[in-house]
Amino acid sequence: MRILLKIAGVTGTALGLLALSACGNSQPTTATVNNYQTQGLPAGQSASDSKPLIVLGGGKSGGSSATGIQVNAYLWRATLDTLSFMPLVSADPFGGVIITDWYSPPATPDERFKANAYILSQQMTANAIQVSLFHQVLQNGQWVDAAVDPGTVSGLEDRILSRAADLRAAAENTTD
């Protein structure tokens, strides 16, 4: 019994220290957020030269069938910018997933929206971003699911792509 208590105490302490180590005071700069994929790379090496963080498949052969999971930094930043009016619940830059909490527009407090955005590719193409939008209306004191206009979803995706193109153009203009 004492051994189990000792192991539980050591494990709890280790988990507590791990949690505290994640609570640093440093705030990432815009450049850091926009260029998260290039952090820690040796001088002169770009993100396209680096190996992916996570590799699926490939096996022992080490062949080219491995698939790296990476997202486009411009799409990532553009998605955060476009959805910034909604409260953020979760943002995973390595998996490319952004989840918002419910948002009620000030003009219509009896309806609310929630968005999940998925960045699916390193390429900046229309099929690299997918937004799922959820809509609810207040009826008799209960939130009830309502249909989402497909035009709203495609409009959000178009705004994200447009913002990503603006961010890429601005980055290219500052490096010249």
Measure the N-to-C terminal CA separation of the chain; round to a whole number of Å: 67
- pLDDT for residue 65: 41
What are the φ/ψ torsions at residue 42 (nearest 5 degrees)?
A: -60, 155
Give the count of beta carbons closer than 10 Å to the beta carbon of residue 115: 20
Block means of pLDDT (10 residues each) for the chain, 176 residues, are 46 40 38 38 40 40 47 93 96 93 96 96 91 96 95 95 95 79
Amino acid, res. 78 = A
Set out the domains of the chain in order of their start, with CATH numbers. Answer: 69-175 (3.30.530)
What are the φ/ψ torsions at residue 74 (nearest 5 degrees)?
A: -70, -40
- pLDDT for residue 176: 58
**Do 91 and 98 form a contact (C-beta atoms < 8 A)?**
yes
- pLDDT for residue 70: 75
> Exposure pattern of 49-82 as b/e (b: 16+ CB <10 Å)?
eeeeeeeeeeeeeeeeeeeeebbbbbbbbbbbeb
Q: What is the pLDDT of residues 35-55, one digit of tens each?
A: 333 333 334 434 334 344 333
Q: What is the pLDDT of residues 93-112, one digit of tens each?
A: 889 999 999 999 999 999 99
| Eight-state DSSP code of residue 38 | G
Distance CA 62, CA 87 (A): 42
Tokens of 166: 């603006």
| Eight-state DSSP code of residue 30 | H
Is the pTM for the entire model greater than 0.95? no
Collapsed DSSP state (helix, strand, coil) of residue 62: coil
CA-closest candidate to residue 130, choices 121, 140, 122? 121
Element (H, E) at 16: helix 2-21
